[in-house]
Structure 1
Amino acid sequence: MMAANRLSFKNITALAPMVRVGTLPMRLLALDYGADVVYCEELIDIKMAQCQRVENEVLETIDFVAPDDRVIFRTCEKEKGRVVFQMGTADPNRALMVARLVEKDVAAVDVNMGCPKEYSTKGGMGAALLSDPDKIEAILKKLVTGVSIPVTCKIRILPSLKETVSLVQMIEKTGVAAIAVHGRFKEERPRHPVHCDYIQAIAQAVSVPIIANGGSLDLVKTNSDIENFRRAAGASSVMLARAAMWNASVFSSNGPVLLEQVMEEYLKYAIRYDNHAFNTKYCLCQMLRDKVESPLGKQVQAAQTNADISEAYGLQEFYQQTRDRLQARRDTMQKSSQPNRPVLDGDVITMAVRFQRREYPPQITPKMFLLEWSRKEKLEQPHYETVERSQDRAFQSTVTVAKKKYRSSLWEKSKKFAEQASAIVCLRVLGIPEGRIGEEDSGLVCKRKREERPEGQSKKLHVQEVETSEPAEGTNSERQHGTTPRARMKEFETED
């Protein structure tokens, strides 16, 4: 039964699917400026079929995460009901598997049948499907009957108008909700004029909504041009790619917005939803176009992180505030689900602790205390192994001391903080001071060095010389009750 809120493709203006551009920040930006529907970039069915659906409570998104922890597709509540998932596929069964994976989180599913680039046509996908009508029919019928949301497709025109009309009429019979038509032949590129006469003839030959695409070069430069393109193509709706990529305010009926403001709004979305820095950089460079070699463009090109990009646009404060807010939310969720006590995870002792820089004097760190304690105990220097989580680029470190492993179960925003957190776990499990402000002087580090450095003094940290004789281990009470650091280490001994 057709739902009352089922997405309609009549009289709409849509953001076209664009590889590397149609990610969440750009889609939300287009919606803000007035787009009715937004398409994600083409995502290959084989990759999506391997993904796991994850509710990201920190970002408040739904993520489809690959086995290597890469987020392949990310969406959020703000675009639900208006986002179309476009897939690259040449297999009806795999197409259905992917469509069912995402159907609760998107408004419709689209099959790419028009992209002429090799990454799309290899394996019989994209424009390669245009020469295989039987496969087109099989894929679309499988989807239309197999999912509860609308199914659409996007094609290019064939060498003859007759062939094109015949193909579109066959597609209409599969039950699709709309057909997007890029008015160029497979071998043509954006520099070639769009064939509005073909789109017009197609629209007259079928009753299903036709979405005209391909007018960005010479037909659509402002919002008022969108309606002119729709009329020239005789189409029900219009889909914009490059015109929207260059300045998403083309969707706004209130007139164009300065590119600087558009880029800033895009970047805020990229920061808010932790968009990958290289994708953020790519999209901003596409917006800059001929200004990509300007001082701003060069700064963006040189950026390696979203923090670097934020600095280029003067958004350092927004970036830091957003990171702090997300980290606070992450901390709350992790602490509520994990006990702040030692837990044995395989051969690693874990605790839910985090390194807070403000809790320690500027020149003192837990790593320093752990290193000095290890030296005094004549143990090997602590060894740190750190991993980065691809999903959000957070870090987690494991420290090995006396053949025992320790780590925090919480993920940190930097490699250095992750190592400090693992050192804290080790120190707390063993009952060793960690150098926090207000902590009684343990003698592990010179008292003089615990005080603030005089102005101009070298930043190099100096620690107390190691004593030549091994000190007594623990206090008398600790030795009597077996609560010395060595005794605590034995608590977590495991078999080799």
Structure 2
Amino acid sequence: MATLITPPRVPIPANGVDYRGKVVLAPMVRSGELPSRLIALRYGADLVWGPETIDRALAGAVRRVNPRNGTIEFTRMPSNSGRAEKATQESVIYRLDPVREKGKLIFQIGTATPEIAVAAAKLVAGDVAGIDVNSGCPKPFSTSGGMGAALLRTPDKLVAILEALVREVGTPFQIGISVKIRILSEPEATKALVSRLVKTGITGLTVHCRTTPMRPRERAIREQLPMVAAICRDAGVACVMNGDVTTKDAALALMQEFGVDGAMIATAAEANPSCFQTEAEGGLLPWKDVVHEYLKFCLESENRFGNSKYLLNMLVPGKLAEGKVAKSARSYADACHALGFEDLMPAAMQVDEILNLTDKSVTTKDLQTEAVRSKAVQNAMENNETARAASGASRVKSASPVATAGGPIRTNSIPAPTKTKPQETASEVDVSVPAPEAAPQKQELAA
């Protein structure tokens, strides 16, 4: 009798999470901030990756709890780019929700040095379910420092970073360490790289099915995917695919087709995060429903308005009139008013005040002007009443308007009544005078 061999699995730490069977939000710069992650979870994402955060950006950061909404913020004073003037407000480097993201948030780090990676990861390790190393970003801000896709050309350094994180962060904090890569031009080179990475102690590997020079508009290349999945499976490491995954239904089908453990959705989630719903769960929702939900999360988390506006430009169809107005908004109040979300206006004005946007808000200024005008009219009426009461003059009650279908009555157009002699009543008739006889009528003969 043949014995079934169970594939090995790298143990998932107590505070970590298994990537198997998951459809997740991909790490995206600007599109992976807290409101974007919360709305992805709201519509069915199993896990969410935060945006790549450079390890050096966390140097000197302070962890604090926002007393207004309970979010955890990592902040530091900005460098001011060397300018002499003193910074007056701390910058929020990273923000997370310890309740709604618990066990579902993966922190992606941009790094090129094991020591700095470990120091930065330790700051957030107690609040996340995993640390993911970005070795796939092709943007110059990442590759110029030897980070992102540049690590694909320095595999020794990448291996050293992963091993250090597993040893000094993953094990002590009991969370998983993973890596995200791109395929290389030659399948053999990809095979050699993945074979080394799965031996570092990582729990998951995500492969973006594009080479470094390829742009998102170019079709993903999936020919190497089964090979990568097989290497990961043999090593007991979860394999997640990324590239041209548009909906949850599509993700599940691709996972089955290529034998991978999970799938990431990226740009499709920027356009409509309800893509994490299957068709059976309702599928894609109308844009206005999604935008209302997104703005609500933005207000709850006090998200930087510039970032929220960036996402609004993607979520709101640009050809619609309200979309054009929303894109010119300078505050949350402006955006909510333009989109007709009056129920969000009180919270929008409050967050604008917190973020120092009130003076920039056109809507708030208009409302304040109208409020001042209404108050002035009310004061004038009250002063008029007070003066009249002080002089002893009685209040003249205005006549109630006559309800007519033809509008107001003009008194100068009403004809003067004709003076007629009053008719005699029966009591004024002298009954002693005989009534006159009726004159005899002539009978007309018929012709």
Q: Which residue is equivalent to 1:297?
A: 323
Q: Which residue is equivalent to 1:173?
A: 199
Matched, 1:108 2:130: yes
**Aligned pair partner of 1:225 in 233, 250, 272:** 250
Q: Which residue is equivalent to 1:285?
A: 313
Per the alignment, do residues 252 and 164 of structure 1 end up closer, same or farther by CA in structure 2, a change over 3 Å counting?
Answer: same
> What are the equivalent positions in structure 2 for 1:3-14 lying under 5 Å apart?
3-14=13-24
Matched, 1:37 2:59: no
Matched, 1:142 2:68: no
Structure 1: gaps (5+ residues) = 328-387, 396-412, 416-449, 458-496
Q: Which residue is equivalent to 2:93?
A: 72
On the 8 A contact 1:200/1:232 being kept in 2, the answer is: no
| Alignment partners' CA distance in 2, 1:122 and 1:156 | 17
On the 8 A contact 1:24/1:75 being kept in 2, the answer is: yes
Opposite residue 199 of structure 1, the aligned amino acid is L
Q: CA deviation at 1:315?
A: 2.2
Per the alignment, do residues 27 and 451 of structure 1 end up closer, same or farther by CA in structure 2, a change over 3 Å counting?
Answer: closer
**Superposed CA offset, 1:86-123 (max 9, x none):** 11110111100111000111111111100101111111
**Aligned pair partner of 1:15 in 22, 25, 32:** 25
**Superposed CA offset, 1:385-406 (max 9, x none):** xxx9xxx5259xxxxxxxxxxx
Opposite residue 125 of structure 2, the aligned amino acid is E
Q: Which residue is equivalent to 1:48?
A: 58
Opposite residue 192 of structure 1, the aligned amino acid is E
| Alignment partners' CA distance in 2, 1:452 and 1:223 | 57
On the 8 A contact 1:197/1:233 being kept in 2, the answer is: no
| Alignment partners' CA distance in 1, 2:223 and 2:378 | 77
Residues matched between the structures, number: 337
Q: Which residue is equivalent to 1:25?
A: 35
| Alignment partners' CA distance in 2, 1:133 and 1:37 | 27
Q: Which residue is equivalent to 1:454?
A: 380
> What are the equivalent positions in structure 2 for 1:149-298 lying under 5 Å apart?
149-207=175-233, 208-216=237-245, 220=246, 222-253=247-278, 254=281, 255-288=283-316, 291-298=317-324
Per the alignment, do residues 70 and 316 of structure 1 end up closer, same or farther by CA in structure 2, a change over 3 Å counting?
Answer: farther
Opposite residue 72 of structure 1, the aligned amino acid is I
How high is the TM-score relative to the length of structure 2? Answer: 0.71
On the 8 A contact 1:43/1:87 being kept in 2, the answer is: yes
Q: Which residue is equivalent to 1:382?
A: none
Q: CA deviation at 1:321?
A: 4.3
On the 8 A contact 1:212/1:233 being kept in 2, the answer is: no
Matched, 1:131 2:160: no
Matched, 1:393 2:355: yes
Q: Which residue is equivalent to 2:424?
A: none
| Alignment partners' CA distance in 2, 1:140 and 1:205 | 18
Opposite residue 74 of structure 1, the aligned amino acid is R
Percent sequence identity is: 37
Opposite residue 232 of structure 2, the aligned amino acid is V
Q: CA deviation at 1:231?
A: 2.7
- 1:104 is paired with a residue whose SS is helix
| Alignment partners' CA distance in 2, 1:110 and 1:5 | 15
Opposite residue 61 of structure 1, the aligned amino acid is T
- 1:235 is paired with a residue whose SS is coil
Structure 2: gaps (5+ residues) = 1-10, 79-89, 361-375, 384-447
Which of structures 1 and 2 has the larger relative contact order (alpha carbons within 8 angstroms, sep 6+)? 2
Opposite residue 106 of structure 1, the aligned amino acid is V
Q: CA deviation at 1:159?
A: 1.3
Q: CA deviation at 1:234?
A: 2.4
Q: Which residue is equivalent to 1:423?
A: none
- List, as ranges, runs of 4+ consecutive aligned residues in structure 1 with deviation greater than 6 Å: none
Opposite residue 42 of structure 1, the aligned amino acid is E
Q: CA deviation at 1:4?
A: 3.9
| Alignment partners' CA distance in 1, 2:232 and 2:46 | 23
| Alignment partners' CA distance in 2, 1:6 and 1:93 | 22
On the 8 A contact 1:271/1:319 being kept in 2, the answer is: no
**Superposed CA offset, 1:24-65 (max 9, x none):** 001010111111100011111111123111111212100011
| Alignment partners' CA distance in 2, 1:451 and 1:231 | 70
How high is the TM-score relative to the length of structure 1? Answer: 0.64
Opposite residue 93 of structure 2, the aligned amino acid is I
| Alignment partners' CA distance in 1, 2:125 and 2:202 | 15
| Alignment partners' CA distance in 1, 2:22 and 2:274 | 16
| Alignment partners' CA distance in 2, 1:62 and 1:184 | 34
Opposite residue 177 of structure 1, the aligned amino acid is T
